[in-house]
Amino acid sequence: MTRSWRNDLSVGLALLALAVALPFVWPVNYVVTQVTLFFVWAVVVTQWNLVYGVAGIFSLAQMALFAVGAYATAMLGYYLEWSLWLAMPVAGLVTVVVSMLIGLACLRLRGPYVALLTLAIAQVMYLYIVNDTACFTNPPSGCMPLFGGVRGVTRFGDLGFRELFKQDWRLAHYFLALGLLAAATVFSVVIIRGPLGLAFRALRDNPDFARSRGINRFRTQLWVFALSALFTGLAGAFYAANFRSIGPTVFSFSLLLFLISMMVVGGVGTIWGPLLGAALLMMTDEALREVQDWRDIGLGLMLALFVVLLPRGIVGTLRDLAHRRSAGRGPPAA
Amino acid sequence: MNADVVIQIVASGLTLGAMYAVSTIGLSLVWGSLGMLNMAHGAMLTMGGYAAYFVMARLGLPHVAGLLGAMVVGAMVGLLVYHTVVRTMLGSRSFDTNVIIATVGIASVLENVVLKLFDAQPLPQPLVIGGSLQVGRVHIPNQNLLILGVALVLMVAIALVLQRSRAGRAIRATAMNREAAQLMGVPIGRVYAQVLMLAGALAAVSGIMVSSIATLSPTMGGDPMLKAFIICVVAGLGNVYGAVVSAIALGLLEATAQYVIGVRFGFALLLFLVIAILIWRPYGLFGRRQVVRL
């Protein structure tokens, strides 16, 4: 146990040092912006990994939760004119509540049924936002539906970094996102290595046995939905603040595909896999930018290949190999 | 609401329902016998619709060739899914969720291949017949009658194959208990391949139907697939006969809703219904827990 803690700590610190140094070694605006976006997606997949990888609940609602955080921030800023610094944490809490409701709805379902239910929930949110054309307010810029309709919500202010740091605002956003990712990673490591993580894995691997040992499925499932939502909502809140706008495109299927691929390629259920996967997928995406038509074909192939041939992802497979070499027998349980 | 309106609603509702039934049977059959949620189902529909277009509009062959061509292409896609995904993954840990991810990947590849080959512009489906039948003061397009007829023939054919043929018996046996069927000498690999090919061919026909009353586009499969999921959930995943009943009910409901409340929130309401059913009756309206339904 202590050795794995120490390993996690050293990997984390090394990555953190690398991330802090990057914008000074490579001070290109485009790089800084893209890496900031990488931090956001990395936060989402590390939290999604808690639900899908560690607790084994195949929820497809993670991007909907991300959208809840983003929309809550934007709407608090737009309608109530709150400072985004206040709106963001509140949006995080709103996301936790919504996620617990989704968790309650999923309680009686398993496997593919959970996937269908969560997909349906995300689709209902999307369809409602896109089809709602009744004007909630009538600002000079034109009719404004409650959730902004197809155009989304804009003009809700930003974090104030553009005024404060002038042309260095991108760096400020970069470090804020990095801080968010660092906090989210520590959060997920503590959960995975702690007693709750053990309960999640026990319910995933052998639900009947776990219950006979006194693990309350109801409470545990609510915990995993609540915990994984906090940083997902905050990531969404930051996303809205960073781009100063939010629209229904965050519900798109190709974005969902992109984020699932991150988890699957890196290693579902591992601590560092989702981070590695997010980095690899962002780089692949960048490499395929020149041949835009081939992007989705490439991503789809990669996803199918990994899930068929390397279902435990890069990190999971490497760990299996390491364990097999040291122990001389099968893969570990967790 | 007068008699003409009722005839109109029933006619279009039955057409929609028949169309949904054809696309749902394949999905339900695959779930029932393989235990997999095939997310490439929408891509099968799309490939079928475009195959008929290619055979008729580009090669200039007659209607029957278009239909057969589409069914062959659909079956080939099913075979592709079997060989690339199912064969290697079957029996592996968490097959039921991993197969969803894998088929999502395949669906993305197929959809974008169609996009590259035929462009994003919507195309007209050439496999249509003109004219209409007059009932009272209502004109019912012959195309709708054709859809209804073809759907009926296909449903009867599927029921006969499942209940009367040797292959159908093997499919039912595999659905009931994979290990027992295997011990009795059923070649389950071949059964799986057959089921996926059958589902692909059915999806292709439904792709032609859907595109004949709308248009062909690379993303056309998404909407019917989502509706097929809804129908499957309502019927209980894997319940083929329940799926047919639910499909026709859904078609009639949709036609009525379009007339009464307009199309805007219709689909969102439908999804909301599914959420409610899943929470209230997790195994569908007709489904019972852990019961095989073929």
pLDDT tens for A30-56 read 999 999 999 999 999 999 999 998 998
Instruction: Tell me if A180 is assigned to some domain.
Output: yes
Task: Please determine, for residue B293, whether its predicted confidence score (pLDDT) is greater than 70.
Answer: no
What's the CA gap between B164 and B19, in Å, rounded? 25
Domain count, chain A: 2
Same domain, A158 and A185: yes
Coil, helix or strand at residue A79: helix
Which positions in chain B touch A124 (Cβ < 8 Å)? 268, 271-272, 275
The per-residue pLDDT for B294 is: 45
Would you state the pLDDT for residue A334? 47
In chain A, the residue whose alpha carbon lies closest to the alpha carbon of B35 is A112
- Determine contact, residues B241/B162, Cβ cutoff 8 Å: no
Query: In terms of Cα–Cα distance, which of A259, A253, A195, A179 is closest to A227?
Result: A195
Q: What is the pLDDT of residue A40?
A: 96
From A200, A218, A251, the end of a domain falls on: A251
Residue B264 confidence (pLDDT)? 66
Per-residue confidence (pLDDT) for residue B35, from 0 to 100: 83
Indicate if A224 and A257 belong to the same structural domain. Answer: no
DSSP string of A5-49?
A: HHHHHHHHHHHHHHHHHHHHHS--HHHHHHHHHHHHHHHHHHHHH
Nearest alpha-carbon partner for B136 in B22, B266, B226, B4 = B4
The reply to whether A11 falls in a domain is no
Residues A154 and A270 in one domain: no
Query: CB A111 to CB B98 under 8 A?
Result: no
Give residue-wise pLDDT tens across range A126-185.
988 888 877 888 877 777 888 888 888 888 888 888 878 878 888 999 999 999 999 999
Interchain CB contact of B1 with A (< 8 Å):
no
Tell me the pLDDT of chain A averaged across its residues: 88
A105: nearest CB among B96, B237, B279: B279
Domain final position from A210, A227, A251: A251
Q: A126 and A267, same structural domain?
A: no
Does B88 contact chain A (CB < 8 Å)? yes
pLDDT at A180 (0 to 100): 95
Domain of A243 in residue numbering reads as 26-251
Chain B residues within an 8 Å CB radius of A304: 84-85, 102, 105-106, 109
Q: Does B229 touch chain A (CB under 8 A)?
A: yes
Please indicate whether residue A106 or residue A69 has the higher confidence score (pLDDT): A69
Q: Enumerate residues 6+ apart whose C-beta is below 8 A from A187.
A: A227, A230, A231
Q: Is the CB of B268 less than 8 angstroms away from the CB of A297?
A: no
pLDDT tens digits along A293-331: 788 888 889 999 999 998 889 998 998 888 888 765 545
pLDDT of residue A276: 94
Asked, for residue A6, whether it belongs to a domain, the answer is no
Q: A85 with A175, same domain? A: yes
DSSP B122-156: -B--S-----EEEETTEEEEHHHHHHHHHHHHHHH
Q: Is B119 on the interface with A (CB under 8 A)?
A: no
Q: Examine the domain organization and report whether A212 and A321 are in the same domain.
A: no
CA dist A319 and A327 (Å) reads 12
How far apart are alpha carbons B294 and B283 in whole angstroms? Answer: 15
A109 close contact with B: CB closer than 8 A: yes
- Greatest mean pLDDT among A25-29, A92-96, A271-275 lies in A92-96
pLDDT surpassing 90 at residue A279: yes
Chain B residues near residue A288 by CB distance under 8 angstroms: none
Domain identity same for A70 and A191: yes
Q: Which of residues A207, A224, A251 is at a domain's end?
A: A251
Please, what is the average pLDDT of chain B? 86
* Distance (Å, whole) CA A252 – CA A249: 5
Same domain as A258, residue A152: no
Measure the CA–CA gap between B293 and B176, rounded to whole angstroms.
Answer: 8
Phi, psi of A279 (to 5 degrees): -65, -45
For CA atoms B74, B80, B85, B87, the dihedral sign is: positive
Q: Measured between alpha carbons, how far is A105 from B150 in angstroms, rounded to an integer? A: 39
Interchain CB distance below 8 Å, B102 and A307: yes
Could B85 and A304 be called an inter-chain contact, meaning their C-beta atoms sit closer than 8 Å? yes
pLDDT tens-place string over residues B31-67: 888 888 899 999 999 999 999 999 998 888 888 899 9
Q: Is the pLDDT of residue B290 over 50?
A: no
Q: What tokens were used for B91?
A: 């029996």
Is A30 within the bounds of a domain? yes
Nearest CA in chain A to B289: A109
Asked if residue A187 is part of any domain, the answer here is yes
State which amino acid sits at residue B180: A
- Res. A1: pLDDT tops 70: no
CA distance B87 to B197: 14
**Same domain flag for A242 and A274:** no
This prediction has a pTM of 0.87
